[in-house]
Amino acid sequence: MRPHIVCSAVLATYFVGAIASAEGGSLVIDRCRIEPWRTTTLSSAVNGVLQTIDVEEGDTVQAGSVLARLDAKAVRASLTYLAKQAENDIDLRFARKAAELAEAEYLAARELNKEFAGARPEFDLKKLRLAAERSILQIEQAEHARHLAQLRVRELELTLADYSIVAPRRGLVTKVENRAGEFARSGNAIIEIAELDRVEVTGDVPAAVRYRLAVGTPVRFTVTGDVGDGPLRNRVFAGTLSLIGSRVEPVSQTVTIRAVVDNADGLLLPGLDGRMIVDEQPFANRRAARRR
């Protein structure tokens, strides 16, 4: 379900005069109410007790902001322990020293036999060579164990990230379902964010007008409520028609149209009144094309 800007469609005299004046007029829909273009429900990936909730309804958040944290003391303790193991290179250093000694002992015995044949039995030389080779494998084993510890640390770091709820994009917090200290189940809604980079405008127009509109037609949107001398005063926002309804309401004989309006600076907030105007030129061009 996608929230949208719901308009109570009040049509300008353009429609009263039918479509004969299409070239000189525009489709105007007044008293539009802004709603988010898209909402995102955030949940936890793990079960746990909520340690903090760092936002309230109405807060604006940025992408990457941490909105809530679950209690992760056990995970942090395991991470600290494994991080120490991953840093510990004692076994590796010992294995290298042992390998140096075993290799030196084998080479010394072999050189002795070169000078004095039979000074060391061949069987002893084989054992010394095996010990040297085993010490090299022990180096590899120590390196492997340390690498596994580092991978386990990385795994726990990723697990720890699951204990934080992060905003995936800039938006407005519209719902907070839980409070700190409550138990949160994996997958259950905790926070809802409305994306405000774009908003939707929906209005009703006479059914006869539907056939003169097309998805992608440019629209303009202005706030008509009391905005004082703020940044919304006389500000025009651009957008495009995204939906032209295919169902006629029996009583009003109207269809629903919807436009997506750019709101990169986040000035358009849910609840503001506004006016949507379908751009005149594209509308006029389509009428002229049909006449030809």
**Per-residue pLDDT tens over the stretch 215-255:** 999 999 999 877 767 888 889 999 999 999 899 999 988 88
- Residue 41: is its pLDDT beyond 80? yes
**Mean of the per-residue pLDDT values of the chain:** 82
Number of neighbours of residue 12 by Cβ within 10 angstroms: 15
- Contact indicator for 28, 11 with CB cutoff of 8 Å: yes
Quick one: average pLDDT of 59-67?
93
- Contact indicator for 29, 205 with CB cutoff of 8 Å: yes
pLDDT computed for residue 107 by the predictor: 83
Give 272-289 pLDDT, tens digit per residue. 888 888 875 555 565 555
Strands (E), the chain: 6-7, 27-33, 35-43, 48-53, 60-61, 66-70, 164-166, 171-176, 183-184, 189-206, 218-223, 237-244, 254-262, 273-278
Q: How confident is the model at residue 25 (pLDDT cuts 50, 70, 90)?
A: low
pLDDT computed for residue 289 by the predictor: 54
Who's near 17: CB < 8 A, 6+ residues apart? Answer: 25
- Contact indicator for 278, 241 with CB cutoff of 8 Å: yes
Alpha-carbon span 59 to 145, nearest angstrom: 47
Nearest to 277 by CA among 3, 14, 89: 14
pLDDT computed for residue 248 by the predictor: 92
pTM attached to this predicted model: 0.62
Cα three-residue angle 245-246-248, rounded to 5 degrees: 90
pLDDT computed for residue 37 by the predictor: 86
Give 85-106 pLDDT, tens digit per residue. 877 788 877 888 888 888 888 7
